[in-house]
Amino acid sequence: MLNIAITAGGTSEPIDGVRRLTNVSTGLLGWYCLEAILDYFCARKRSDFRITYILTDTAFRKVLSEKQRSFVDFIPVSDAESVYHAVDALTKRVPVDFFIHSMAISDFTLAYVASTEELAKEINSLPPYSSDAGSAVREVLENPANRYSLTEKIPSDRNIILGLKRTQKVIPLIKQNNPDTFLVGFKLLKDVPEEELIRVANRLAGENGCDMVFANELAQLGENNHRGVLTRSGEVVDRPVGKKQIAEAIVREMMKQGGNK
């Protein structure tokens, strides 16, 4: 039995009861990867596989046939923390053979919301000549005493400052929990040449144990003209164009590495 996991969509980090920080990811590429995997096994008349599809509520999704649906388990997530826990639990519970980590996970989540006026007052109240003045200011900026509750709508009658903190990285979990997983990572950059895409893709692979990386540039996103480089072992193995073609290239190259298990 082959176990396959896919993440898709963009996370959404809450600011208050009605506002959120999100990104532009649609999850369409992840869905095309799902369809490509289903087509791959259907063409070979194989049923010895299981797909876990981890997706946000804004991710693109179509209706699967009853037969297709029988091979897929859907796990809904929302923010970066929920993705972290879902991936951690899955990779500890299941020996995942292939993992396509296409989800756009926020690097930051909300630490606090404060009015600029109250934050300025708090900083101004610090001792002016303290030897650790820098540390005191940093403490206020990271953890102010006066902040808004994040469970209600923040009033709109004042200017505010959003304090952000880093989220836990999800991709290192995959190989930490399942060292034998074939891991496909993704990297999106802006205003860089192909040489830089390849360099950053190779760095991502080295730092997180990715077996393959699809790297693309922001200006080259789109349904039919989406393009990038697919790398493996430091070399470009494909330059597919179009989201569907990218997904098919990823699955084709991935399955060369063990699709006949």
Q: Per-residue pLDDT averaged across 210-214, rounded?
A: 96
Q: For residue 246, what is the domain's CATH number? A: 3.40.50.10300
* Mean local confidence (pLDDT), 163-169: 96
| Residues ≥6 apart with Cβ < 8 Å to 156 | none
Do the Cβ atoms of 100 and 182 come closer than 8 Å? no
Token pair recorded at residue 175: 């190989």
Q: Which domain holds residue 150?
A: 110-166
Same domain, 25 and 130: no
- Tens-place pLDDT, residues 75-86: 999 999 999 999
Question: Is the same domain home to 93 and 147?
Answer: no
User: Which position has the token pair 């649609």?
Assistant: 26
- Residue 135 shares a structural domain with residue 41: no
From 145, 166, 187, give the residue that closes a domain.
Answer: 166
Domains: count for the chain: 2
The 10s digit of each residue's pLDDT in 224-241 is 678 889 999 999 999 999
Residue 260 included in any domain? no
- Do residue 89 and residue 179 come from a single domain? yes
Do 66 and 16 lie in one domain? The reply is: yes
Same domain, 213 and 84: yes
Instruction: Quote the pLDDT of residue 152.
Output: 78
Would residue 261 count as lying in a domain?
Answer: no
List all residues 6 or more positions away from 233 whose beta carbon is below 8 Å from its beta carbon: none
User: Would 41 be classed as within a structural domain?
Assistant: yes
Measured CA to CA, the distance from residue 46 to residue 38 in angstroms comes to 10
Q: How confident is the model at residue 223 (pLDDT cuts 50, 70, 90)?
A: low
Answer yes or no: is 39 within a domain.
yes
Please choose, from the candidates 129, 136, 83, the residue with its C-alpha nearest in 3D space to the C-alpha of residue 105. 83
Mean pLDDT over residues 61-90, rounded? 97
d(CA 121, CA 260): 65
Is pLDDT of 160 > 70? yes
Same domain, 52 and 176: yes
